[in-house]
């Protein structure tokens, strides 16, 4: 595992060059990363000063901002706070947490793939494909919580083991990894339900018509035990969000936003302008269709090697454990990522996410169904790894296998790399804050122009500055709009 981790560190360094050179001074972007820094610093402030984390009265003044309007980032904060206390450099700490999240995705995917291939090279290759896939690299530009995708394969691995042969230890493992997933990102706590439920349905199908119900009846107690264990944990993890909703700060996401944040099917095969192959295209379909502002959410490019190995596995009918389940899970996640509909041949094809948005409460809180593409990239990497194992078996000589593996890895790395990676230093805080705090003690800052709470660069930068000067201010950029402030 140590060698795999080192290899993944090297891959991330190359795929995001020259980010490593700017780890001490620059973030991958401004906006969301500054919001994330404010959140983690707020947790640290509450911990050191014994304050309540529920509501920060000092930003989005005069209403204050409940933490329920922000990405929870609990797991990321557990990493950030000790680093911050030791290093005293917010940017460096953020980047170290960022790097950990990407490598964690690779390692988690490696562990999920391993039982299906039993080959460290193929499993390691699959982990790299998931770690550097288009959805991961695009979200790495700004969404710290979403690049901790490694929690998903770990939960899925534990869940499959529980469903196959329930024991108390496996139940504890599934509960623990699911709560870890919830601590990482609220989206993943909702999205992971679908491949988990699909596995139960698949197992019932495998059992046959007559044995399906007895099989399910023998496990329903374990499923209820899982639910009974995770529900109290989820109530605790999302207590800030529940408080904000109960007090009118947060409303369900608008359908209009949900509708425009579906990933087109072709986006899984078409490189974005940030990828080397995308730069070679004669035209930019993302720009033509007005998707550039949402590209970080909608871009789903899996890479030529991943797509080729998927095609090879399908054409050759490669056999591996639970193959029909993994193919079904891949299709399910890709379809769910499409959101409301796919436009095919001039017609809109309705997709299941439309019904879920209209009738399932949890989905009413979802803004971006395209984020299912992150989970799809993990499952695609698993299937591709088995395609790679089948391909490697065609070479009788070890030297030929090594050369083929190295060539495929090199092409995949070059294809998925986003270089040069974006680097943006945080603007230095002007001295007017210190002057005004001396001149008007106890006063509040009113910073203009006035924006809504939902997002602006000024409010993101000003919100981070507030965590340093600690004054009251109307700025503050929250992921969910503060309905009372707005």
Angle in degrees, 0-180, between the axes of helices 151-164 and 90-117, rounded to the nearest 10? 30
Residue 74: inside a domain: no
- On the 0-12 / 13-18 / 19+ scale of CB atoms within 10 A, 75 is buried
For position 434, what pLDDT does the model report?
Answer: 80
Residue 197 is encoded by which pair of tokens?
């439920």
For position 455, what pLDDT does the model report?
Answer: 66
Taking only the tens place, the pLDDT of each residue in 379-406 is 999 999 999 999 999 998 999 999 999 9
Domain that holds residue 208: 99-416
For position 31, what pLDDT does the model report?
Answer: 86
Q: What is the dihedral of CA 399, 401, 406, 409, to 10 degrees?
A: 180
Residue 268: inside a domain: yes
Q: Residue written as tokens 């046959």?
A: 208
Residue 114: inside a domain: yes
> For strand 424-425 and strand 444-445, is the pairing parallel, antiparallel, or unpaired?
unpaired
Residue 447: inside a domain: no
Taking only the tens place, the pLDDT of each residue in 446-469 is 888 777 766 678 888 888 998 998
pTM for this model (two decimals): 0.95
For position 364, what pLDDT does the model report?
Answer: 84
Number of domains in the chain: 1
Extract the residue ranges of the chain whose pLDDT is less than 70. 453-455, 484, 486
Taking the C-alpha atoms of residue 377 and residue 132, their distance in angstroms, rounded to an integer, is 10
Residue 382: inside a domain: yes
Residue 222: inside a domain: yes
Contact criterion met (CB below 8 Å) for 264 and 257: no
For position 428, what pLDDT does the model report?
Answer: 92
Residue 164: inside a domain: yes
Residue 37: inside a domain: no
């Amino acid at each position: 595992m140590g060698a795999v981790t080192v290899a993944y560190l090297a891959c991330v360094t190359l795929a995001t060059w020259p980010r490593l050179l700017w780890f001490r001074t620059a973030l991958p972007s401004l906006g969301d990363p500054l919001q994330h820094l404010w959140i983690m610093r707020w947790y640290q402030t509450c911990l050191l000063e014994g304050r309540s984390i529920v509501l920060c009265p000092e930003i989005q003044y005069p209403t204050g901002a409940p933490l329920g309007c922000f990405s929870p980032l609990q797991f990321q904060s557990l990493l950030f706070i000790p680093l911050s206390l030791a290093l005293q450099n917010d940017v460096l700490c953020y980047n170290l947490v960022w790097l950990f999240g990407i490598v964690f995705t690779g390692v988690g995917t490696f562990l999920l793939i391993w039982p299906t291939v039993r080959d460290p090279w193929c499993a390691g290759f699959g982990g790299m494909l998931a770690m550097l896939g288009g959805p991961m690299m695009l979200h790495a530009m700004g969404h710290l919580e979403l690049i901790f995708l490694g929690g998903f394969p770990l939960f899925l691995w534990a869940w499959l083991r529980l469903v196959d042969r329930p024991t108390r230890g496996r139940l504890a493992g599934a509960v623990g990894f699911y709560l870890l997933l919830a601590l990482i990102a609220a989206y993943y706590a909702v999205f992971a339900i679908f491949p988990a439920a699909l596995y139960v349905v698949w197992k019932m199908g495998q059992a046959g018509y007559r044995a399906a119900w007895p099989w399910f009846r023998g496990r329903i107690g374990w499923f209820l035990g899982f639910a009974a264990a995770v529900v109290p944990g989820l109530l605790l993890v999302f207590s800030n969000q529940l408080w904000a909703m109960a007090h009118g700060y947060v409303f369900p996401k608008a359908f209009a936003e949900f509708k425009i944040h579906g990933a087109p099917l072709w986006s899984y095969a078409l490189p974005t302008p940030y990828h080397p192959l995308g730069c070679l295209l004669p035209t930019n379909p993302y720009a033509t269709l007005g998707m550039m502002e949402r590209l970080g959410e909608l871009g789903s490019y899996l890479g030529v090697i991943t797509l080729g190995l998927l095609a090879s596995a399908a054409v050759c009918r490669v056999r591996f454990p639970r193959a029909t389940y993994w193919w079904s899970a891949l299709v399910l996640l890709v379809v769910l990522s499409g959101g409301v509909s796919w436009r095919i041949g001039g017609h809109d094809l309705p997709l299941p996410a439309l019904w879920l948005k209209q009738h399932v409460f949890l989905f009413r809180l979802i803004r971006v169904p395209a984020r299912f593409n992150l989970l799809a990239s993990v499952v695609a990497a698993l299937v591709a790894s088995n395609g790679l194992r089948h391909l490697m078996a065609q070479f009788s000589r070890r030297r030929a296998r090594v050369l083929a593996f190295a060539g495929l890895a090199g092409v995949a790395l070059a294809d998925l790399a986003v270089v040069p990676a974006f680097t943006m230093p945080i603007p230095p805080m002007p001295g007017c804050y210190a002057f005004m705090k001396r001149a008007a003690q106890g006063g509040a800052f009113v910073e203009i122009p006035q924006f809504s709470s939902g997002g602006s660069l000024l409010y993101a930068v000003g919100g981070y500055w507030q965590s340093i000067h600690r004054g009251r201010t109307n700025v503050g950029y929250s992921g969910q709009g503060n309905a009372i402030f707005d």
